[in-house]
Amino acid sequence: MMAAPAIEIAELAGGKTAGLDGFHRIKVKERTWHELAAGCAAGHQDLGGMWFDSGAIQMLLFSEQQKMRAIVALAARSGVYPSVGCYHAPAIRLERALRDIHGTDPQGLPDARAWLDHGVWPSAAPSQKSGKRPARNYEFLSAEGNGLHQIPVGPVHAGIIEPGHFRFTANGETIVRLEERLGYAHKGIEALCKGADIDRAARLAARISGDSTVAYSFAFARAIEAALGWPVPRRAEFLRGIMAELERLANHINDVGAICNDASVVVLHARCAHLREQILQVSKSCFGHRLMMDCIVPGGVSCDLAPEGRGAIEQLLKHCAKQFEAVVHVYEEAPSLQDRTVTTGIVRPALAAQFAAGGYVGRASGRKFDTRAIFPYAPYGLLKFDMAGRSEGDVDARLMVRVDEVRSSIDLIRQMLELLERGPIRGPAPALKAGEGAAMIEGFRGDIFIRLRLDKHGRLAHFHARDPSWFQWPMLEAAIEGNIVADFPLCNKSFNCSYSGHDM
């Protein structure tokens, strides 16, 4: 590690007012960049994403204690800049990905390997001007010792799952190292957004990770609204919240069932899958699409909730609450289940804090962060809920955090239905103009971050989305170490990281 004094973003942003979207914007010189990176390593602030725009390398830094978020930019015309990853490991994959896509050159980055570019694209990514391409063969990290063997898995997995490669090194049944290789689902979404109008970019953003389509549309809409000063009517804010909580409910319930399935209690899986189906059917009847894709749009929402819809949701919540508690009851009373989940796949709190692991992965390991509570956005400022949390960091803790979140989502939707008043569902579109906006939204998996910039015609000049999985995938590698190979599916399910959201 290089030596630089560690500084806090609060020292730079203190006293200044943040933008309308709640983010400070700070231009720094190289020395301060080093110091901020060292500050991340020292735990003064969290790293929330990195991107390259307008000849500057930029990063999101935030601090939950100071309740402060800042976008820090360092001019780097040629793409050469001091690596953050050489101070702060969570930046390493971000910087490898940026190098593949933009040809940036992070000085001192400890890993020379490509990340998203597997060397098979017919041409380099459009924003990567250097023309340098990685070799096709990828060198996995080595593990040496007597009796070690490797188990390569993927990118095509045994179940109905997204593509990714896992390289296990095992000693008998015990995993000594897991190395992930991702990027298989890379679709070049950032490049597709470049030059796109707002409607098209919204459709792309909604398809970054299908299970979080509501959360992504929500984040995209808020970033656009910040860039253009687009007002959102109160009713639309509550409808957004209701959709976001329905999405969380469907995913959490489904995954609780899937974890139990991997521990061989199939009946709970069937129960949960049925509940999820019912949530999707109500979502469709209320909002016209089972996953509520494209239902949140800049300025508001695209479909209103009819009075019958409200009744259907109330009914659904009643049913879910009852059925889900029955599932939880079985889980808590079944020693054979606990035997599999308790002490399996532990993420240490220090590691979760270092990586700013979001969602249930962080909250199960003592990280008290939920965007809805720490950086509340409409409508959550008007709602009451308790942040879920555990500190054990094992599969059981991640599952129990989700259980608590199912309960709080049900309550949140009830609060929102109560507060829902009549009115328009979309604000009048403002004149198109150049601007910049950012947003952070708590999806079911964790905090989703979007940053974008519009040109004077209102087309996207830059788009960047950072899935929570970026800071959760590395936790999985750490969590599985020392566990048996047979526990990997269970452990993996308890994370349920997104491949597509990560690969983009």
Partner 1 sequence: MRSLLLRALIEGPAVIDRPEPDSASVSELARALADRFRQRLGRSLAIREVDAGSCNGCELEIHALNNPVYDVERFGIKFVASPRHADVLLVTGPVTWNMRQALERTYAATPEPKWVVAAGDCAKNCGVFAGSYACVGPVSAVLPVDLHIPGCPPEPLDILKGLLALIEASSA
Interacting residues with ligand SF4 (CB under 6 A)? 207, 210
353 interacts with, out of partner 1, ligand SF4, none, CB within 5 to 8 A per kind? none
SS3 for 389? coil
498 interacts with, out of ligand SF4, partner 1, none, CB within 5 to 8 A per kind? partner 1
Considering beta carbons, is residue 140 or 385 the nearer one to partner 1?
A: 140
- The token pair at 397 is 């803790």
Smallest gap from Cβ 155 to partner 1, in A, equals 5
- The token pair at 493 is 């399910």
20 interacts with, out of partner 1, ligand SF4, none, CB within 5 to 8 A per kind? none
Site string for partner 1, 459-498 (x = CB under 8 A): ---------------------------------------x
Smallest gap from Cβ 184 to partner 1, in A, equals 5
- The token pair at 136 is 């096709």
C-alpha span between 234 and 227 (Å, rounded): 19
Considering beta carbons, is residue 163 or 376 the nearer one to partner 1?
A: 163
Select from 77, 82, 123 the least CA-distant residue to 100: 123
Binders of partner 1 in range 280-299 (CB under 8 A): 280, 290-291, 293
Q: Considering the rule CB under 8 A, would residue 276 count as an interface residue with partner 1?
A: yes
Select from 337, 284, 470, 321 the least CA-distant residue to 407: 321
Count Cβ atoms below 10 Å from residue 478 Cβ, excluding itself: 16
- Cβ atoms of residues 169 and 153 within 8 Å: no
Q: b/e map of 125-157 (b: 16 or more CB within 10 Å)?
A: bebbeeeeebeeebeeeebeeeeeeeeeebbee
C-alpha span between 98 and 114 (Å, rounded): 9
25 interacts with, out of partner 1, ligand SF4, none, CB within 5 to 8 A per kind? none
Q: Which of 42, 191, 382, 434 binds partner 1 (CB under 8 A)?
A: 191
Binders of partner 1 in range 131-170 (CB under 8 A): 155-156, 158-163
SS3 for 290? coil
Q: Evaluate the omega torsion of the peptide bond into residue 489 and state whether it is cis, within 30 degrees of 0.
A: no
Taking CB positions, which residue lies at the least distance from ligand SF4? 207
SS3 for 301? strand
Binders of partner 1 in range 305-364 (CB under 8 A): 326-327, 330, 333-334
Select from 16, 5, 24, 145 the least CA-distant residue to 436: 24
SS3 for 41? helix
Q: Considering the rule CB under 8 A, would residue 207 count as an interface residue with partner 1?
A: yes
C-alpha span between 37 and 54 (Å, rounded): 21
Q: Which of 18, 42, 125, 143 binds partner 1 (CB under 8 A)?
A: 125
SS3 for 166? strand
397 interacts with, out of partner 1, ligand SF4, none, CB within 5 to 8 A per kind? none
Please tell me what DSSP assigns to residue 45: S
Burial-class residue 343 by CB neighbours within 10 Å (0-12, 13-18, 19+).
middle
Q: Which of 43, 126, 172, 229 binds partner 1 (CB under 8 A)?
A: 126
321 interacts with, out of partner 1, ligand SF4, none, CB within 5 to 8 A per kind? none
Considering beta carbons, is residue 100 or 245 the nearer one to partner 1?
A: 100
56 interacts with, out of ligand SF4, partner 1, none, CB within 5 to 8 A per kind? none
Q: Considering the rule CB under 8 A, would residue 209 count as an interface residue with partner 1?
A: yes
For the CA atoms of 332, 333, 334, 335, what is the dihedral angle to 10 degrees? 90
Q: Considering the rule CB under 8 A, would residue 385 count as an interface residue with partner 1?
A: no
Chain-centroid distance, C-alpha 243 = 17
Smallest gap from Cβ 294 to ligand SF4, in A, equals 10
Q: Considering the rule CB under 8 A, would residue 448 count as an interface residue with partner 1?
A: no
326 interacts with, out of ligand SF4, partner 1, none, CB within 5 to 8 A per kind? partner 1
Considering beta carbons, is residue 319 or 414 the nearer one to partner 1?
A: 319
C-alpha span between 444 and 248 (Å, rounded): 5
115 interacts with, out of ligand SF4, partner 1, none, CB within 5 to 8 A per kind? none
SS3 for 438? strand
Q: Considering the rule CB under 8 A, would residue 123 count as an interface residue with partner 1?
A: yes
Q: Which of 85, 183, 437, 474 binds partner 1 (CB under 8 A)?
A: 183
Considering beta carbons, is residue 205 or 397 the nearer one to ligand SF4?
A: 205
Smallest gap from Cβ 503 to ligand SF4, in A, equals 13
Smallest gap from Cβ 100 to partner 1, in A, equals 11
Q: Give residue for tokens 């929102």.
A: 416
Q: Which of 69, 88, 96, 186 binds partner 1 (CB under 8 A)?
A: 186
- The token pair at 162 is 């997204």
- The token pair at 163 is 């593509």
Select from 220, 204, 228, 246 the least CA-distant residue to 427: 228
Binding site for partner 1 (CB under 8 A): 116, 118, 120-126, 155-156, 158-163, 183-189, 191-192, 200, 203-204, 207-211, 213, 267-268, 270-271, 273-274, 276-277, 280, 290-291, 293, 326-327, 330, 333-334, 498-500, 503
